[in-house]
Amino acid sequence: MNFFKYQGTGNDFVLIDDREATFPAGNPALIARLCNRRFGIGADGLILLQNDPDSDFRMVYFNADGREGSMCGNGGRCAVRFAQDLGVIQDSTRFAAVDGEHLASVCEEEIFLKMGDVAGLEAHTDYDYLDTGSPHVVAFVHELKDFDVFEKGQDIRYGPEWVDRGGTNVNFVEVLDEQTLFVRTYERGVEDETFSCGTGVTACALAAHVRWGMNDPIDVRTMGGPLRVSFERGEENTFSNIYLIGPAKRVFEGTILL
């Protein structure tokens, strides 16, 4: 099988051209093996690019554990870059994903990816919760570079409240200045900290706007590099015209025996 490896701010993915619908998507053990960093290609997830009758292509995303996942923002940008590299699109696209239709445009090194509208935000004393295509807890902390993201993230991820609600990703955020956040994320499905999480960065930016009054575009630093988020706020903490903006790059290609 031919495959391609892409990364968006260090969030890395195996990309497969599945327009002929030949990939065994119903085999989670195979997908997990391909994503394994010691015995496979190594990635935070796997993405199929498929034909779609109503859009330029369909993006199907699988977590590193082999199960089909919810929307992935960094993966979405990588899928757009992949589609452009394949000649499926030029500089703009409309594509389908698990959470619906997305628009995107390519501007040299950056991909402008329109995310789905956000219906609301749960504000709690110590954290916020919202769904940006994937569910996210957002907790604001100090001295994030020394924070134990794995242990604290795992504790929240597997806490009874979140298990009962179907699971969540967990983001820890430090406000660096009036327009900049530093974000580290524990991702479900990967079950570890990743270098970046696109839907998580989006959730953190929206939460920072509500909690701290930060205006768009909000710059976000991640372990894998910089992103930014623009948006429009509606009534009762609803958001629309949300764009996740950042790089997506091809790393290498190869073949692997299934």
Task: Report, as residue numbers or ranges, the catalytic residues.
Answer: 72, 197
Helical H runs in the chain? 28-35, 73-86, 149-157, 160-164, 198-212
* DSSP labels, 99-132: TEEEEEEEETTEEEEEPPPB---EE-SS-EEEES
Degrees, nearest 5: CA angle 168-149-63: 45
CB atoms within 10 A of CB 174: 17
DSSP 215: P
Under the phi-then-psi rule, with left for phi > 0, alpha for psi from -120 to 50, and beta for the rest, what region is 171?
Answer: beta
- Terminal C-alpha separation, the chain: 7
CA 57 to chain centre: 18
DSSP bridge partners of 233: 239
Q: How far apart are alpha carbons 233 and 250 in whole angstroms?
A: 34
Which residue intervals of 158-256 are DSSP H helices? Answer: 160-164, 198-212
